[in-house]
Amino acid sequence: MSTESVPGLSVLSQDETKFFEALEHLWRAAGSLDEPVLRVRVRTGSGKPLKKVTLWQWLHRDAVPREGSDSFRALVDFLLARARQLGATGLKDYRHYDTLRHRATKARAGRMRAAKPSELLRAYLHAVDELAVQHPTPGLARWTRSTVPGLTEVYQFQRSTGSAAHDDEADEVGHLAPLHPSTVLRGDSCLVLAGPGGGKSSLLRAVLLEGLHGPAPDVPVPVMLPARALADAGPLAHAVARHVEKELGALTDKTPGVRELFAARPRPDAPWLLLVDGLDEVVDPALRRRVLDALKSTAAGDAPVHRFVVTSRPLPEEELDYLGEDVGRRELQPFDSRDLQAFATKWFTAQGMASPQAHAGKLLGLAARSGLATLARVPLMATILCHLYQADAEALLPDSRGGLYQRFTDLLQERQFQADLLERVGTTLSRYPRHVAEDAVTQSPQLVETLALGHLSGKADLESSLRLTGCPSPVPLSVWQPVLRDIVRSTGLLIERAGQLEFLHQTVAEYLAVRHLAHDLASLDKAVHAALKAGRRWPRLRAARRMLDNWRAWHLPEEQDSHTGFLLDRAVEKGIDCESHLRRMVALGGAGGSAFVVRQHLLGTRIASTTVEAAIEALAKAAARQRTMGTDRLLAIRLLIKCGDSRGQDALEEIAVDPASLRIDLYWEPREQRGDPPSSSNHEWAVNKVRYRALLKVLARIAQDPDMSGTTHVHAAIAMEKLDRSFVRDQSGLDVLRTVSRSEPDPQDRKMAKWALANATWKWEGLLDGNR
């Protein structure tokens, strides 16, 4: 794509064009080597390969090398040497290209300084800056700053695994390094995944603040919006403009130009960065696909008007893969013990408590004694624990996730009445019988629960559900609706953003929906059975069928774990027998059933220890059997290691020796249709490549999980690289192995990874030479 065809992008200066043309001419003289080949062959003075982001930007005219860049010197020297080997004549030396680079750098800087923001852009930046500063920690906007610290006061960087396309930040600093908001701000489009309460929204808010408080001519301008705002049909720029107008109101008297503002680049050398929160909260898969369609189409090309960062809980792989390989993924990791201590200390410091470090240490001790040490590492859970501790530092903490949410929502409702809600509502409804105001406030918890149930079912949005709520006969609808809206906002469980009501957090909505179901034991019992796929009776024939087909029948989706966990906790409190169904799931459900039980245990759901132990034993057997399907085997290994069971590590080491033993459902074409693998045009090869890529994703999660040991990281990376080289060949395994070889703190782990990397690099060079 030429720069002239991109709205809002200035044409490259003459000096910039000369530099890029000279570099391209040299690249062609050296044989037009592919980017993966260059990354393997070119080494800087310190022995490091070229970064993906560096090489991609230079070859696509997206960035000029910085002054004194070792990578640029290494690339030019390599291309010059290879071009001479191929017989090229009339070549210049390195100083020629460095002089052109220096002139291009000066021209680019002058062009960027010349760009001035439009009136609408200045109005947007001013309005959103005020909003970002006013809002405290995301989801807690109803409480005053004296009760809840601001995000900038308590935000704790989280570690992440994975990396964005063309972004080598993870390679440079290691996969255990904290993910800084500036990395996300300046990186390419990516998908950020985390479990319930995993810090996704807080990260986006931190990126928003980073973009607003440190503006530069080439830094993207952030816009934060929920994924549902993009679910309507129509141009993306119009959807963004509609949300901004709702959120911020009129920017200037030229508000009709807001659509045009978001249809072009805000600055010549910077796109808009759409911070799209909560893809998983768009319940309808067809609407989620519409959101992904809009983002995928607008971010295409060398210099797009929009880039995006989308957050979501884990969704089916086929949905997330729709964005394509060019959109990288980052998976936020929970706090470790040091992160949690730092977060709690920041929280109590912001609250003005004496000896904040001592209070933080006491809170961590309480969490450990209550069996919540693992759960407390989830950022939202850490926030809730800080609130509960601050309310009563001497109280014992609940022993389950459901109990924790019960205590938290009870605390909110207590504060609701402390805020004189009844007096405020009574004043508004003073012309009507007193019981109207009393009933409205008293029944508000049930109303919020009903709204949560409707919200999760996807049948109606919160605004529609609230409008359908019954109005007492003496009160006009025009009076009743604002009162009702004020009541639900005052509960602290819902907030208002861009004129729309939304729940404090998706997990809060899940908990409240389950609490609503629990008012009717029959409904709760039915919901538990449906979630566990367990009928009231199991005829022998049906049980036998489940045993034969257990791999598929008991693969309960991971994205439903949070809601199911609340169901199980509440069912146990109400005396419903869940243990017999869970034990049966372990006995007849294969790896999928046992994995579900262990995931719930790790999530903080109350499950009998004997059932958990039986599930761990079943996973150990699945991990050791080669006839177990590869993805099930790796998932079993991952859960075993998370539970501290050494059999998971033993099975992983065996796979690192022979990863080809991982079983997939091989696809075979008729003999007469077969080509010569690994031809990408061969359908049989392409289908099996997709299935092997699913194994690579699970191995990558193990290799980059900060909760696991360095030895585990190395063995997973070795297995991933071997599997990649044999069946996929996209170098993702080599990238992960290279990262592990530089980032592991233990010298023995680094030594083992470096030896494996040297051996793998030599084999990759031979493979690439053979394919040229």
Q: What is the DSSP letter of 86?
A: T
The pLDDT value recorded for residue 380 is 84
The pLDDT value recorded for residue 358 is 92
* Average pLDDT score over the chain: 80
More confident of the two residues 87 and 108: 87
Exposure string (b/e) for 199-230, b if CB count within 10 Å is 16 or more? bbbbbbbbbbbbbbeeeebebbbbbbbbbbbb
pLDDT at residue 686 is higher than 60: yes
Contact 676, 771 (CB under 8 A): no
Q: Which two three-digit tokens encode residue 735?
A: 């990238």
How many angstroms separate the CA atoms of 451 and 461, rounded?
A: 9
Contact 408, 388 (CB under 8 A): yes
CA 630 to each of CA 43, 337, 692, 697: distance values in angstroms, whole numbers, following the listed order: 36, 33, 9, 12
Read out DSSP for 692-725?
HHHHHHHHHHHHT-TTS-HHHHHHHHHHHHHHII
Give pLDDT tens digits for 553-570: 466 778 888 889 999 999
Give pLDDT tens digits for 258-312: 778 888 888 877 889 999 998 888 867 788 888 998 888 776 555 678 899 999 9
How many angstroms separate the CA atoms of 622 and 619, rounded?
A: 5
Alpha helices in 533-673 (DSSP H): 540-548, 550-553, 561-573, 579-588, 590-603, 609-624, 630-642, 646-657
Q: In this structure, is the dihedral angle defined by the CA atoms of residues 465, 467, 468 and 471, taken in order, positive or negative?
A: positive
Give pLDDT tens digits for 176-185: 567 889 889 8
Alpha helices in 142-232 (DSSP H): 151-154, 169-173, 181-186, 200-213
Alpha helices in 419-499 (DSSP H): 421-428, 434-442, 444-457, 462-467, 477-490
Give pLDDT tens digits for 110-120: 665 544 557 78
State the pLDDT confidence band at 542, using cuts at 50, 70 and 90: very low
State the pLDDT confidence band at 4, using cuts at 50, 70 and 90: very low
Of 219, 322, 203, nearest in space to 269 by CA: 219
Whole-prediction pTM = 0.66
- Provide the terminal-to-terminal Cα distance of the chain, rounded to the nearest Å: 27
Residue type at 494? L
pLDDT at residue 533 is higher than 80: no
Task: Write down the domain spans for the chain.
Answer: 3-114, 119-332, 337-397, 418-507, 518-624, 658-772
Read out DSSP for 100-133?
HHHHHHHHHHHHHHH----HHHHHHHHHHHHHHH
The pLDDT value recorded for residue 672 is 46
How many angstroms separate the CA atoms of 586 and 599, rounded?
A: 13
CA 729 to each of CA 231, 680, 722, 760, 764: distance values in angstroms, whole numbers, following the listed order: 36, 11, 10, 12, 9
Of 26, 165, 46, 31, nearest in space to 101 by CA: 26
The pLDDT value recorded for residue 228 is 86
The pLDDT value recorded for residue 134 is 52
* 392 Cβ neighbours under 8 A, 6+ residues apart: none
In CATH terms, is domain 119-332 a member of 3.40.50.300?
A: yes
pLDDT at residue 168 is higher than 50: no
How many angstroms separate the CA atoms of 736 and 712, rounded?
A: 13
* 124 Cβ neighbours under 8 A, 6+ residues apart: 244, 248, 251, 261
How many angstroms separate the CA atoms of 309 and 276, rounded?
A: 6
To the nearest whole percent, how much of the chain has pLDDT over 90? Answer: 18
Contact 124, 261 (CB under 8 A): yes
- Comparing 142-151, 385-394, 451-460, the range with the smallest average pLDDT is 142-151
How many angstroms separate the CA atoms of 607 and 617, rounded?
A: 16
- Comparing 183-187, 222-226, 266-270, 765-769, the range with the smallest average pLDDT is 765-769
